[in-house]
Structure 1
């Protein structure tokens, strides 16, 4: 199915003057093993919540659920939720549901509109975390590495890390990421994609056997590195 890259109108869940993204936006979604969403859900800093209601997600189910008892200070997870870290200049967008290919453009359009609207943001860049089934040419893989590296790909921006660039001939199949790439190009949004090669995980918690625990650990280091700078 071809991907459309036009913007879709939406209703904000709060008044524009109250709902503002911060300078750096981390984006996690339900990728091939939910590595990025699991990593960002592990952030424990004090935060403000906003649930986003997009009509196309009205019947969507949560992909990664909260284990244990909910802290009274926290809100339950929702299919599309934003966290503003109270004492940092960071926001977190969590796409915590498995998106159908025909739904991706609605969510990606909302993200780009929110990151470019003069009423709702002062965003400098988006940092997208992704665990991705990607075919990296063998010539780019170092045999001495014990685990897969994090690759970086930037659009409308300079590289932000010392991670190697994702080889141009790498193949991938990810409708959400493909749609988002098109839309940040069109919207001229400075975006950094940090990709960990991964495979589909087993249901349940992250574990060593399928590599999902390793992916979560690697991706969890990214926001910590930005915040500590």
Structure 2
């Protein structure tokens, strides 16, 4: 894939991302090039890819935040352009990631990006809807999603893919508290515990990334 757009130089990165800057820059260039050409990213997003998209996702996987445990197998539902799944896979070599995406043009981009970045040993692209993935993708430690659906629907798609004791880590905006209130029935139905809304990455992104975190049942 050839990049025709320039997302600008990489900003200063958190210390824990030292050594991952080249791969993150390559992925950002793919988003600015093929991602724009194929309609996965809007052209106006190119100048702010680093802040609004790449770092916005990366800060959630900061080991110091403890939201994505070491060695986790992660499912990214509705992965789209690989946000946050590919960003996490690049940022955290200890993770295994399944990118779940139903649309062909998006899943094709994801597979090409995985191949280009040399992530094939740890990253799988699974083409299909999350609600039909249970037989092939299950027992995950973490399931994430970004800008996919309101929380009540999102929980019905994501929680079945988790092992008991696994966690949902959903990237949300300022509407997160309201969405949590509206998802009360789904939260009870799936026996979600320790649910909280947290803001992360305030030193690196403005506004910080808002995340809804919850555990499926008791820890094993």
Q: TM-score range by the shorter chain?
A: 0.3 to 0.5
Of the two structures, which has the highest relative contact order with CA contacts closer than 8 Å and spacing of 6 or more? 1
TM-score, length basis structure 2: 0.34
Relative to its length, the structure with more helix (as a share) is 2
